[in-house]
Amino acid sequence: MANERFDALISQVRKGSSVADIGCDHAYVSCKLVQLGISKRVYASDVREGPLLAAKANIQKYGFSEYITAHLADGLDGIENFAPDDIIIAGMGGELIARIIDKSEYVKNCNVNLILQPMTCTYELREYLLQNGFEIKNELLCRDSGKIYEIILCSYSGISYTAKEEFLHIGLKTHSDPLFREFVLKKIGKFEHIAKGKQLSSTECDYEYTLIKNLKEMIGEEV
Ligand SMILES: C[S@@+](CC[C@H](N)C(=O)[O-])C[C@H]1O[C@@H](n2cnc3c(N)ncnc32)[C@H](O)[C@@H]1O
């Protein structure tokens, strides 16, 4: 179960908390939480039967049935019956994560931490969180199999915020991360690629140019 991404997710879980692992797939994160002694009460759920069967098999294989309950559920449906302190939603698209959060009243509680790891649409997820009263408390970057992943720790405060465009793209709390410079350079490369494509089709690309300039300034690169 060695995996930098799992370790980074787990590092944001409060020790001794009850945890929901939404979209658990093989329940590797759930099992690791128990194995490391971080949680003794885990709810592992998935919307599909196949992953849930794999999760149940792993839970049994590791002998963790006493600590982890596996459920077939769509997102956070019925989560109030388990009442977790910390909720992990990882390995899905950012828009799907936002939809799952949006459907749940349970998460509108300042004591409940959400640990999110979007695979795509990180901008859209941050925008959703800030506009809908979720405070981003921490963010970290991790590299796994050559790819950099973004992890967001947040909880409900009821206060809506806006953030500058570049922060919605790269995160509000990633600056001190050891991978920050490399991560921003990758983002700059992405926007340069988009701008080049737009230029070729004579489409206006001021948005990308402004972003590239601001991101370069942020990491002390020549503009
Ligand atoms: C790529 S896997 C990620 C597994 C694990 N969370 C991780 O980070 O490695 C995504 C899982 O999310 C599940 N999923 C997708 N939509 C879901 C939903 N609405 N509710 C619960 N699970 C969902 C899929 O069935 C799949 O098993």
Q: Considering the domain 4-162 in this protein, what is its CATH number? A: 3.40.50.150
Q: State how far Cα 15 lies from the chain centre.
A: 19
Q: Would you say the CB of residue 101 lies under 6 angstroms from ligand 1?
A: no
Long-range contacts for 15-19 (Cβ within 8 Å, ≥24 apart)? 16/40, 17/84, 17/85, 17/86, 17/113, 18/42, 18/43, 18/82, 18/83, 18/84, 18/85, 18/86, 19/43, 19/84, 19/85, 19/86, 19/87, 19/88
User: pLDDT for 110-130, tens place per residue?
Assistant: 999 999 999 999 999 999 999
pLDDT by residue (tens digit) across 188-201?
Answer: 999 999 999 999 99
Sign of CA dihedral 20, 62, 46, 148: positive
Q: Is the CB of 91 under 6 A from ligand 1?
A: yes
Q: Is ligand 1 within 6 A of the CB of residue 46?
A: yes
Q: Is the CB of 20 under 6 A from ligand 1?
A: no
Q: Rounded to the nearest whole angstrom, what is the distance from the C-alpha of residue 23 to the centroid of ligand 1? A: 3
Q: Is the dihedral of CA 106, 43, 86, 138 positive or negative?
A: negative
Measuring CA to CA, which residue among 180, 195, 188 is closest to residue 216? 188
Model confidence pLDDT, tens digit, residues 127-176:
999 999 999 999 999 999 999 999 999 999 999 999 999 999 999 999 99
Segments making up each domain of the chain, as ranges:
4-162, 181-218
The answer to pTM > 0.85 is yes
**Cα-to-centroid distance, 210 and ligand 1 (Å):** 35
pLDDT for 1 beyond 80: no
- What's residue 223's pLDDT? 81
